[in-house]
Structure 1
Amino acid sequence: MNRKKFVALSLLTSMAACTVPNSDKKINYNNKLFISVPSSMYSAMKLVKDIYQNKNSDIEILYNSGSSGALQQQIERGAPVDVFISASSKQIDFLLKKDLLIKESSKIFLKNTMVLVASSKSIEKINLNTLINGDFKKLALGELRSVPAGQYAKEALISLKVYEKLEPKFIFGKNVRQVLFYVESGNADLGIVYITDLKNANDVRLTNIPYNLHSPITYQIAIVKSSQNIDEARKFINFLLVEKTQNIFQNYGFIGINNQKNLI
């Protein structure tokens, strides 16, 4: 897939932040940085983009957003991505084994927390016993094969020994935003999402899912080997690792990691 086609694809993605290029002008891709961003951190990354571009007006940041699994598959198929951010180490590790990422650029730079949510209109009180008792009709999860939040949710349900019992109640979203939409719209009684998804949520109740019920939720970042803009990609990653930017993510509910001593 060439870069022109990728821009067109991103424009059709509802959460992509691409600008329509002027077809009358020759496009210079040297001043563009293509970043694949998991849906769960898209809102925070929009703010990061604005701040970065104010300081670096010569570069244009273009986001392509979706589930980490879907973004991984795009890179495998040759999509012209410069930087890949994943909500799980699984996708990064897979692409490293395929020799599609620059190993030295791979960093864990954020963590997150899982929560059980319900619409305030559907369930008055919510806690882990709400799951264990199973007194509800539908539970929304991220797709188990491609959405890390769905995989973490499955691990938690298995730890609680309710996965098989609740399996007939599952409905799946293609990303965490869709899972939350199912709950807010009343299509699901409950959903399992990241706490960071709730910053702009409407009328939901929540309870934390203990961290020991699932694998650590780590966000990893790496430069794609085929990038035509490796120096700019490295500069952008370093920007995400410094304290000021980490504070932005923490304001959205992420858990920051001090990687400033390990800039690439």
Structure 2
Amino acid sequence: MKIRQLVVSLFFAAVSLQTSAEELMVAVASNFTAAMKEIAAEFEKTSGHRVKLASGSSGKFYAQIKNGAPFQAFFSADTAKPAALETAGLAVPGSRFTYAVGSLALWSADPSLVDDRASVLREGHFRKLALANPKLAPYGKAAVEVLRNLDLEEATRSRWVQGENIAQTYQFVATGNADLGFVALSQIVRGGQLKEGSAWTVPGDLYSPIRQDAVLLQRGADSKGAVEFLHFLRGDKARAIIESYGYRFPEPH
């Protein structure tokens, strides 16, 4: 009898879990895609919820959300777009927070092309330089800032190839369509080690900090799963994954 009661209890517990589980729609900036896949997998293991990720440029997601895209949370590559959504009443007030601070790197698939002083840029020994569209992507805007501060903006401009987002920019370099390019450090390192090629981690004083904010959108305001997911992002397990991809966190006030 006790065994039968236990089976019945487990059955109803499973049914209850299935009915409370949600499929979350989350928009994430391209640079954070790899880290987010790991984080989402960990969250799914413990929560019972499923996370459906869409990755792309923050600028395009901003426009889509304003036009009614069904996302419940938005992980941007900057602070401005989540703040603007909050001001427009499309995000839950007070839900915005900085989930990571990004780092920029000059990278080539050629293991001997980029040194720790980025000499290749100054000497001009390259055909094409990839960077993300600075009008759409914060990492592209940072890349232009770096070139300007190095007094190389005009000297290199004719050799720029622009990706719609940082993922496409990475592909330009990985496939050899560009000799080198400005990418997110998170795309080329794992566990603090460069995965392949050669790279220069751009000093932080050459560009404005790339603070990346997340926000709970109004479509997720009544979603227990979405609230839990944003809470999970601030926990130790998620933070360890984020750090393993070369991101930093803002200094505590």
What TM-score results when the alignment is normalised by the length of structure 2? 0.84
* Residue number among 46, 54, 74 corresponding to 1:64 in the alignment: 54
The equivalent residue for 1:119 is 109
- The offset of 1:101, in angstroms, is 1.3
Report which of the two structures shows the higher radius of gyration computed on alpha carbons: 2
The equivalent residue for 1:141 is 131
CA displacement, residues 154-176 of structure 1 (integer Å, 9 cap, x when unaligned) = 11111112112211111011222
- The offset of 1:74, in angstroms, is 1.1
Q: For residues 50 and 63 of structure 2, what CA distance do their matches in structure 1 show? A: 24
RMSD of aligned Cα (Å): 2.3
Distance change >3 Å, CA 172–CA 102, structure 1 → 2: same
- Secondary structure in structure 2 of the residue aligned to 1:256: coil
* Aligned residue runs from structure 1 range 11-22, under 5 A: none
Distance change >3 Å, CA 29–CA 37, structure 1 → 2: farther
Give ranges in structure 1 of 5+ residues lacking alignment: 1-27, 260-264
CA displacement, residues 142-190 of structure 1 (integer Å, 9 cap, x when unaligned) = 0121111101111111111211221111101122222122112211111
Contact 2:114 2:200 in 1 (8 A): no
Q: For residues 36 and 236 of structure 1, what CA distance do their matches in structure 2 show? A: 13
* Residue number among 40, 43, 46 corresponding to 1:49 in the alignment: 40
Q: Amino acid of the residue matched to residue 39 of structure 1? A: S
The equivalent residue for 2:183 is 193
* Residue number among 217, 235, 247 corresponding to 2:210 in the alignment: 217
- The offset of 1:122, in angstroms, is 7.2
Q: For residues 238 and 163 of structure 1, what CA distance do their matches in structure 2 show? A: 41
Q: For residues 64 and 181 of structure 1, what CA distance do their matches in structure 2 show? A: 18
Q: Is 1:239 matched with 2:232?
A: yes
- The offset of 1:231, in angstroms, is 3.1
Contact 2:126 2:179 in 1 (8 A): yes
Contact 1:85 1:222 in 2 (8 A): yes
The equivalent residue for 1:102 is 92
Contact 2:134 2:141 in 1 (8 A): yes
Contact 1:154 1:163 in 2 (8 A): yes
Q: For residues 79 and 29 of structure 1, what CA distance do their matches in structure 2 show? A: 23
Contact 1:184 1:203 in 2 (8 A): no
Contact 2:112 2:197 in 1 (8 A): no
- The offset of 1:30, in angstroms, is 7.5
The equivalent residue for 2:154 is 164
- The offset of 1:203, in angstroms, is 3.6
Q: For residues 226 and 109 of structure 2, what CA distance do their matches in structure 1 show? A: 40
Q: For residues 73 and 173 of structure 1, what CA distance do their matches in structure 2 show? A: 18
Number of equivalent positions: 232
Contact 1:126 1:205 in 2 (8 A): no
Q: For residues 241 and 250 of structure 2, what CA distance do their matches in structure 1 show? A: 12
* Residue number among 120, 132, 136 corresponding to 2:122 in the alignment: 132
**Identity across the alignment (%):** 27
Contact 1:39 1:177 in 2 (8 A): yes
Distance change >3 Å, CA 226–CA 214, structure 1 → 2: same
Give ranges in structure 2 of 5+ residues lacking alignment: 1-18
The equivalent residue for 1:205 is 198
- The offset of 1:258, in angstroms, is 8.0
Distance change >3 Å, CA 126–CA 232, structure 1 → 2: same
Bigger mean CA deviation after superposition, 46-55 or 198-207? 198-207
Distance change >3 Å, CA 124–CA 152, structure 1 → 2: closer
Q: Amino acid of the residue matched to residue 26 of structure 2? A: I
Q: For residues 133 and 179 of structure 2, what CA distance do their matches in structure 1 show? A: 17
Contact 1:30 1:228 in 2 (8 A): no
Q: For residues 248 and 90 of structure 1, what CA distance do their matches in structure 2 show? A: 25
- Secondary structure in structure 2 of the residue aligned to 1:144: coil
What TM-score results when the alignment is normalised by the length of structure 1? 0.80
